[in-house]
Structure 1
Amino acid sequence: MTDLTGKAALVTGSVQGIGFEIAKALAMAGASIAVHGLADAAQAREACEALKAAGAPEARFFGHDLSDPQAAGDLVKQVAAWTPIDILVNNAGIQQTAPLADMDIKVFQRIVTINLTAAFATMQAAMPAMAERGYGRVINIASVHGLVASVNKAPYVASKFGLVGMSRVAALEYATVGTRASGGVTVNCICPGWTETSILDPQINARAADHDGDRAAAIADLLSEKQPSRRMSDPAEIGALALWLCDPVAHNLTGTAIPVDGGWTAQ
C-alpha cells in the first residue's frame, strides 16, 4: 500500500468527479489535500469534510478561477504558504463541442487556458520546490483525446494533445532529480476514455434524444463506437492509478500518457 503520510497534494477541480476521487485516494493514503474548484461554501466544506473522513490529516479549500492564467500561479503560492506541495494533480478542465467552422474563438481560448495554460502555470510554480526535496509527482489528467482526435472538439483536443506534450518536456527536464530512495520527480498523464462524469452529460443527452430518452441505450451507443470494452470507467479507478504513480517505486515511470480507455487507442 502506498503511504503518503507527511505529504501534501494539490488537486485542481477536486470538489467532484475524477478530481475528487483522486483526492480521496490520496487522502486514504494519508496525504493532506489542497482542494480546489469553483464551488460555494457548502460544497467546499462538504468536500473537505469527506476527505478528512477518508484519512486526510488536513484538507483546505482554494477557489481560484483558472480561466485567469495569473490565478493558477497564485493558487500554487497560496497552497505552498499553507504546506509544501509534494503532489500536483492538474485535473480541472472544461469542454464544449462545435464544428471547427462554428467554434467561437473566445470559447477556444477559454478551454485552452483552463485545460493547458493553467497546468503550465501550476507546474512552473510547484516543480522547483519538488526538485529541491528530491520527491515530487505531477499527474496531469489529459484524455484519450490527448492521444487521438475526434470531430467537433478542436479546442479540447488541442489542449489535451498540448498537455501530453508539455508533460513529456517537463519529465525530461526533471528526470535526473532525486534518487530511487527519495522517489525522484516524475510527470505523467492519465488519459481516460469514457468515464462516468458530468462532462459527458451533453453528449449522452444528445444521444438519448435519438433513443426515446433512454439514457442506458444512449451510453451503450456512445461506447460501441470507440471503447471496445463497452464499459465506462469509474472515477475511483482513475484515483487508484494516480495513487500508484505517487509511490516511490514509480520513480522511473515518467513522461508517459497512460490510457484508461477499454482498448480505444489500441485499435
Structure 2
Amino acid sequence: MAVTTDTAPAADTDLTGHRALITGAAAGIGLACARRLAAAGADIVIVDLRTDAAQAAADELGGRALTVDLSDPDAVERIDCDGVDILINNAGLQHIAPVTEFPPDIFARIQRVMVEAPFRLARRTLPGMYERGWGRVVNISSVHGHRASPYKAAYVTAKHALEGLSKVIALEAAPYGVTANCVSPAYVRTALVEEQIADQAAAHDLEPDQVIDQIMLARAAVRRLIEPDEVADLVTYLCSPSAAMITGSSVTIDGAWTAH
C-alpha cells in the first residue's frame, strides 16, 4: 500500500512540474492553498500586498514572493506569469455598509481586486496553458456568489461576477485541456472573518461567539466555521488530473448554507 505524506503526493494529486500562482497567499485560504499545492509538488508563486508575510510564505515553501497591489491594473500587468499553469484567484476584501452609504471608491476597488485582477491574470496565463494543453483556474468565490446579504453590495457583486467569468473561461478553455471552477465557501476562519465578527459584535452588542452562532451560522446545518485547510483540500483536488471533467462548476463548501 502506498504511503503519502506532505512531501510525497498521491499519484492522482501529483502536480510536480506545474507552477501555481496564488493571489492573497500570505495568509488564510491563500496560504493554505499554497501549502497544499506545494505538498503536491507544484512550484509556488505567492502574490500578496504584504511584503514580509509574502516572503515568509515563499521561504517556507521554497517558492517566490511578489508584492502586488491588485487594485492597480498596471501592477497586475507587470506580474511575471511565465510558466504559470495553475491560477488561484483568492485575494479579496470586504466593506460593510448600506448601498445608500457605500463609498463608490471602495466599491470600485473591490471590483478591481476581485473581478478585474482575476480577468487580467486569466487573460495573461491562459495562452500558455492552451499552448501546453493543460491548465487549471480556480477562483475562490463564496456563498455570496450564490446568495445575497444586506450591507455587502460590493462583495456580493464581485463574487457573482467572478462566478460568471469562471463559466466563460470554462467554455472557452475546454478544447485546450484547461478547466475553470469556483470554490464557494461559507464563513472560513480567516482574518477577514475575524474582523467581521468583531464589527458585528460591536454593532449588535453581542459576544463574538454569539455573532458566529446567531448571525454567521444562522443558515448553516453544520454549525461551525470552515477551516482554511478544508478549502485548500478541495482546491488541490480541482487542480489534480482526476478533476479533468470538472469545469464550469461552482463547488460549495458551506455546511448546507445554500441548501435552503
TM-score (norm 2): 0.92
Deviations 1:67-126 (A, max 9, x none): 012222321xx141xxx1110000011110100111111111001110100000000000
SS state of the match for residue 86, structure 1? Answer: strand
Q: Superposed, which structure 2 residues align to 1:1-267 within 5 Å?
A: 1=10, 2-41=13-52, 43-52=53-62, 59-75=63-79, 78-80=80-82, 84-177=83-176, 184-209=177-202, 214-267=207-260
Instruction: Supply the AA of the counterpart residue of 1:69.
Output: P
Amino acid at match of 1:217: Q
**8 A Cα contact 2:28 2:191, kept in partner:** yes
Structure 1 distance, partners of 2:204, 2:159, is 31
The alignment partner of 1:225 has SS state of coil
| 8 A contact 2:69–2:75 mirrored in 1 | yes
TM-score by length of 1: 0.89
Change (3 A) 1:45 1:210: closer
Quick one: distance in 2 between partners of 1:156 and 1:213? 24
Contact 1:141 1:189 in 2 (8 A): yes
8 Å Cα contact 2:130/2:178 also seen in 1: yes
Contact 1:211 1:217 in 2 (8 A): no
Equivalent-residue separation in structure 1 for 2:72 and 2:231 (angstroms): 27
Question: What RMSD, in angstroms, separates the aligned Cα atoms of the two structures?
Answer: 1.5
Give the aligned partner of residue 181 of structure 1: none
Residue 40 of structure 1 and its aligned partner are, at CA, apart by 3.0
1:145 corresponds to which letter in structure 2? H
Q: Deviations over 1:130-187 (max 9, x none)?
A: 011011000000111011111001111111000000110110011111xxxxxx2000
Distance 1:187 1:8 in 2: 16
Identity among equivalent pairs (%): 42
Give, as a single letter, the amino acid of the residue that structure 2 aligns with 1:40. T
Q: Secondary structure at the match of 1:33?
A: strand
In the comparison of the two structures, how many residue pairs are matched? 249
- Distance in structure 1 (CA, Å) of the matches to 2:99 and 2:192: 20
Q: Contact 2:217 / 2:224 at 8 angstroms: preserved in 1?
A: no
**Please, which runs of 5 or more residues in structure 1 have no aligned partner?**
53-58, 178-183
1:224/1:39 CA distance change after superposition, 3 Å: closer
Q: For 2:164 and 2:130, locate their aligned partners in 1 and report how far apart those are by CA, in whole Å.
A: 20
Displacement after TM superposition at 1:213 (Å): 6.2
Match of 2:4 in 1: none
Matched to 1:112, the amino acid is: Q
Q: Secondary structure at the residue paired with 1:121?
A: helix
Report the AA paired with residue 148 of structure 2: A
